[in-house]
Homo-oligomer: A and B are copies of this chain.
Amino acid sequence: MDLDLQKYAVRTDLALEARELAARDQPAPLAGISEDVEEDNGIKITRLDVLNEEGANRIGRVQGHYITLEVPGLRGGDTGLQERVAVAFAKEMEHFIQKIGISKTARVLVVGLGNWNVTPDSLGPLVVENLMVTRQYFELTPDQVNPGYRDVSAIAPGVLGITGIESSEIVQGIVDRTKPELIIAIDALASRSLERVNTTIQVADIGIHPGSGIGNKRRGITKDIMGVPCIAIGVPTVCYASTIVNNVIELMKTHFAKEKASTKAILGMLDDISEPERLGLVREVLQPLGHDLIVTPKEIDEFIEDIANIIATGLNAALHEAVDPGNVAAYTH
């Protein structure tokens, strides 16, 4: 076995997972990382700040502020819980925007990334559809806008395969013309564990960094490129088949270790090798069959609609002071 471990690094879009991976091999607390966890009635909120270069190196994430809402119960389709999550998310967003120094009247452009026609990738466009946009009133009849509303616009730029244009290029064109003071980009992510799929919302002030893609020319949606602060809201909606397998072997280790069984005897070499090595192994096995597929839960249609509704509802309340988190439902479909 001779693996390019760099190539087989664990793919995750979540800072929380990156931190968890790092914490396995390093003693806590991690230098350069500040963390604050709160749990209330099924909603776990982790506020993780990557304070400096050292912290960034330790967990392999860009310096910045990260908030993660984990709500395992979201899979149950409980509308009461969904409403509570929307309220919690609205509150976090409001604080987050304030914390990074954005004023209550700053103009906001919401960008819904992804593809309308691919259900697990349709989160961004669905949020845009349910958002309360107001920019047209500020442009046409600014003196008639009620207090408590800010200037919000939104765009679902589509995907490269449909438009032939990078999303970031479309967004940049719009930013040049409409001059927003904050960009909020929403995207569907890949997770390394099935259990996080559709149950987790990540907010970060680092924008969108397109990791891979066709060629090296792929560009992101970040402050450097856009010239204004960029918040990214991400929800894992898919995961790789290989990461499921890898994840389960990891679970097996923990499971048998608890039972005080010899994990070495049970799992053989799988017990010894490092995670990237093991993942490399799994992919090596899957490759010839061409099926390291990206998968999504069977119930994805309903999940996506529910979570898009939560995010749109939360954003409407967070962005407009006049919109009450309690009755935000009235503003979305």
Contacts and interface: CB of A to CB of B under 8 A. Distances in A.
Nearest to A251: B285
Interface stretch (A28-36, A52-60, A97-105, A152-160): A152-160
Contacts of A128: 158, 162-163
Interface in A119-135: 119-121, 128-129, 133-135
Contacts of A22: none
B178 A165 contact: yes
A266 B269 contact: yes
A301 interface: yes
A281 interface: yes
A143 interface: no
User: How many protomers of this protein does the assembly include?
Assistant: 4
Interface in A151-184: 151-158, 160-165, 169-170, 172-178
Interface string A286-321: 100111011111111110010000000000000000
A244 B133 CA distance: 34
B173 A248 contact: no
Contacts of A297: 293-296
A285 B266 CA distance: 13
Given A215-B140, A267-B268, A295-B295, A301 B241 contact: no
A252 B245 CA distance: 12
A40 interface: no
Contacts of A134: 164
Contact of A169 (B177, B269, B286): B177
Contacts of A300: 119, 296, 300
A271 interface: yes
Given A118-B299, A268-B269, A174 B164 contact: no
Interface in A187-203: 194-195, 197
Interface of A: 72, 79-80, 116-121, 128-129, 133-136, 139-141, 151-158, 160-165, 169-170, 172-178, 194-195, 197, 214-215, 217, 238, 241-242, 244-245, 248-249, 251-252, 255, 264-271, 281-282, 284-286, 289-291, 293-302, 305, 329-330, 333
Given A118-B302, A195-B291, A255-B285, 10 more contacts: A72-B290, A155-B157, A165-B178, A173-B175, A194-B291, A244-B245, A248-B282, A251-B286, A293-B297, A293-B298
24 contacts: A72-B290, A116-B129, A117-B301, A121-B298, A136-B164, A139-B217, A140-B214, A141-B215, A152-B164, A165-B174, A173-B174, A173-B175, A173-B177, A173-B178, A194-B291, A241-B248, A245-B245, A251-B286, A252-B282, A265-B269, A266-B268, A267-B267, A293-B298, A305-B333
